[in-house]
Chain A
């Protein structure tokens, strides 16, 4: 009895602190998630969406996802291109955070400059970069030709998948590195100077200090950033929707765009949901692997 009461009183605080967040998340996203999973096993079209009465089709939609060339490609695109974006964002974000942490002259201006892209909505950013990469009126081709790469005269970036991905990669990294840089900078600044000084006294050079002191202390934040960047970049929609629309045969579509096209446009909501569920499973696998890797270092134990 006493033990039970003590348990209750010990649990009150954490439960009270957790509850609002969990209620908001579960209350809002819970039903849509369950429904999406359910739809992925049915043949729902617009009519069934309005009036109900869809038929259970088992794994048919999932078979279709892997049988259909366009859908299969879109999933592969997602993994390959998404991973590239995560790596690019993390590398640039890390470099910028380290630079900002040097407190050079002009640091303030630099800090604000790199934050600005974060404030631009994805749709607008995609439109601007699409314009900058325009074959005839774009700044990128003009600049490249002027520094001597004549091959870029009227170069059509969006006429095939690889070059379109270069342009989209630049756009995605441009938009997402500020958050990574800022978070890492905040992390760098919570590292006690004394720890680094102690390491310096022990004879560690800058690189060793980074590897042996800074990196391990930043590990929890880096893990969070990698996990969320992966989720965002694998779900990428706006940039691909705007910039890859003209790539022949839509071969640069990613999973989210494919799910949208199957659902909203073609009215195959079951199949569209199945694409989303497969993407979810891929992301879940990635997340569990990350958590495992980080957990081994003791962060989760």
Chain B
């Protein structure tokens, strides 16, 4: 009884939040299994009477979703890797060198994020045209970096700040260089922050639509959001294809979440701080 009072409500909250988070995703899954005529019904079917799996081979085959998944993977992982490399160092500097100019830099970096993307599209297109990068993976990776690095810097800086500087001093007294101390002491302790940043920058590249639409024309280079939009026609929308593609699109991320759960959600650092 006490257990129920103490923990029960937590479980209730957990179930409620999970339902809120998962229901729309579940809705997409079941819709992808419904025949076209049953997609809209007044009384929602929570499980299709006769699940149809044929949308999946269809979108992977004629819909070229396989190719698009690969493109998205390339762009998103490229963005993630470079973002981590570039912003980890910058975040470290901005956290540890507390002089006036770092403060100004932080604000400046933030300011670049304050314009709505729609007004930046045309000049970004011109920049990419002049650089001769239109239509390439790089055009997307570089632009996504410009929008994920600032956030990554701020987030990682927050994590670096929470790591006591004394630990680094201790390592340096033991003879480590500044870089060595950063690599061996700060980086492992900032692991949860790094993991968050990694997911964040990966998803920036994985989900982005407007810039991909603007830069990419080639069918072979289209990312999944573009292919998803291509099922919405002028007079007719291929809902089955939209839903099946959405499922295929979310699946790899779900798998990554499962694989990365240790880094994302376990307290590997707690206790280590003292050591």
A residues contacting B by CB (< 8 A) are 13-14, 16-18, 20-22, 24-33, 35-36, 49, 92, 95-96, 99-100, 102, 104, 106-125, 127-129, 131-132, 136-137, 139, 142, 174, 178-179, 182-183, 185-187, 189-194, 217, 220-221, 223-224, 227-228, 231, 235, 237-238, 255-256, 259-260, 263-264, 272-273, 276, 279-280, 283-284, 287-288, 291, 299-301
7 more contacts with CB within 8 A, not counting A95-B13, A137-B42, are A28-B142, A29-B120, A189-B192, A190-B159, A220-B157, A220-B158, A221-B158
Q: Identify A25's interface contact among B10, B107, B149, B273, CB under 8 A.
A: B149
Say yes or no: B158 contacts A100, CB within 8 Å: no
CA distance A112 to B194 in the complex (A): 18
Say yes or no: A183 contacts B155, CB within 8 Å: yes
Q: Is B151 an interface residue (CB 8 A)?
A: yes
Say yes or no: B155 contacts A193, CB within 8 Å: no
Residues of B within 8 Å of A139, CB to CB, are 23, 27, 44
Say yes or no: A276 contacts B24, CB within 8 Å: no
Q: Identify A237's interface contact among B117, B158, B249, B265, CB under 8 A.
A: B117
B residues contacting A by CB (< 8 A) are 7, 10-11, 13-14, 17-18, 20-25, 27-28, 40-44, 85-87, 89-90, 92-94, 97-98, 103, 105, 107, 109-120, 122-124, 127, 142-143, 145-146, 149-151, 153-155, 157-159, 161-163, 178-179, 189, 192-193, 195-196, 199-200, 203, 206-209, 225, 228-229, 242, 246, 249-250, 253-254, 257-258, 261, 264-271, 273-274
Instruction: Please give me the residue from chain B that is nearest to A272 by CB atom.
Output: B119
Say yes or no: A120 contacts B25, CB within 8 Å: yes
CA distance A261 to B257 in the complex (A): 37
Say yes or no: A121 contacts B265, CB within 8 Å: no
Say yes or no: B142 contacts A24, CB within 8 Å: yes
Say yes or no: A110 contacts B124, CB within 8 Å: no
Query: Main SS of chain A's interface residues?
Result: helix
Residues of B within 8 Å of A107, CB to CB, are 265
Say yes or no: B254 contacts A280, CB within 8 Å: no
Q: Could you tell me the distance in whole angstroms from the C-beta of B181 to the nearest C-beta in chain A?
A: 12
Residues of A within 8 Å of B110, CB to CB, are 227, 231, 287
Say yes or no: B14 contacts A108, CB within 8 Å: no
Say yes or no: A264 contacts B264, CB within 8 Å: no
Q: Identify A96's interface contact among B17, B153, B268, B269, CB under 8 A.
A: B17
Say yes or no: A190 contacts B27, CB within 8 Å: no
Say yes or no: B14 contacts A110, CB within 8 Å: yes
Residues of B within 8 Å of A125, CB to CB, are 24
Residues of B within 8 Å of A20, CB to CB, are 85-86, 89-90
Q: Identify B146's interface contact among A25, A136, A182, A283, CB under 8 A.
A: A25
Say yes or no: A24 contacts B123, CB within 8 Å: no
Instruction: Please give me the residue from chain B that is nearest to A26 by CB atom.
Output: B112
Residues of B within 8 Å of A137, CB to CB, are 40-42, 44
Residues of B within 8 Å of A221, CB to CB, are 155, 158-159, 162
Residues of A within 8 Å of B208, CB to CB, are 121
Residues of B within 8 Å of A186, CB to CB, are 159, 192-193, 195-196, 264
With contacts A123-B229, A287-B110 known, is A237 near B162, CB below 8 A?
Answer: no
CA distance A174 to B44 in the complex (A): 21
Say yes or no: B199 contacts A25, CB within 8 Å: no
CA distance A111 to B27 in the complex (A): 20
Instruction: Please give me the residue from chain A that is nearest to B189 by CB atom.
Output: A190
List the 6 closest pairs (A to B, CB-CB), nearest first. Answer: A186-B192, A17-B89, A119-B253, A256-B116, A32-B123, A28-B146
Q: Identify B228's interface contact among A18, A27, A121, A189, CB under 8 A.
A: A121
Say yes or no: B149 contacts A21, CB within 8 Å: yes
CA distance A29 to B179 in the complex (A): 30
Residues of B within 8 Å of A132, CB to CB, are 23-24, 27
Q: Identify B119's interface contact among A120, A131, A259, CB under 8 A.
A: A259
Q: Identify B225's interface contact among A25, A30, A121, A228, CB under 8 A.
A: A121
With contacts A31-B127, A117-B24, A120-B25 known, is A224 near B18, CB below 8 A?
Answer: no
Residues of B within 8 Å of A174, CB to CB, are 20-21, 24
CA distance A136 to B43 in the complex (A): 9
Say yes or no: B207 contacts A122, CB within 8 Å: yes
Say yes or no: B203 contacts A118, CB within 8 Å: yes
Say yes or no: A300 contacts B27, CB within 8 Å: no
Say yes or no: B10 contacts A104, CB within 8 Å: yes
Say yes or no: B155 contacts A224, CB within 8 Å: yes
Residues of B within 8 Å of A115, CB to CB, are 257, 264
Say yes or no: A18 contacts B89, CB within 8 Å: yes
Say yes or no: B18 contacts A114, CB within 8 Å: yes
Say yes or no: A191 contacts B270, CB within 8 Å: yes
CA distance A221 to B267 in the complex (A): 17
With contacts A25-B109, A189-B270 known, is A235 near B117, CB below 8 A?
Answer: yes
With contacts A29-B112, A31-B123 known, is A192 near B273, CB below 8 A?
Answer: yes
Say yes or no: B24 contacts A273, CB within 8 Å: no
Residues of B within 8 Å of A118, CB to CB, are 199, 203, 253
Residues of A within 8 Å of B229, CB to CB, are 123
Q: Could you tell me the distance in whole angstroms from the C-beta of B72 to the nearest C-beta in chain A?
A: 10
Residues of A within 8 Å of B271, CB to CB, are 192-194
Q: Could you tell me the distance in whole angstroms from the C-beta of A158 to the nearest C-beta in chain B?
A: 17
Q: Could you tell me the distance in whole angstroms from the C-beta of A2 to the nearest C-beta in chain B?
A: 20
Residues of A within 8 Å of B273, CB to CB, are 190, 192
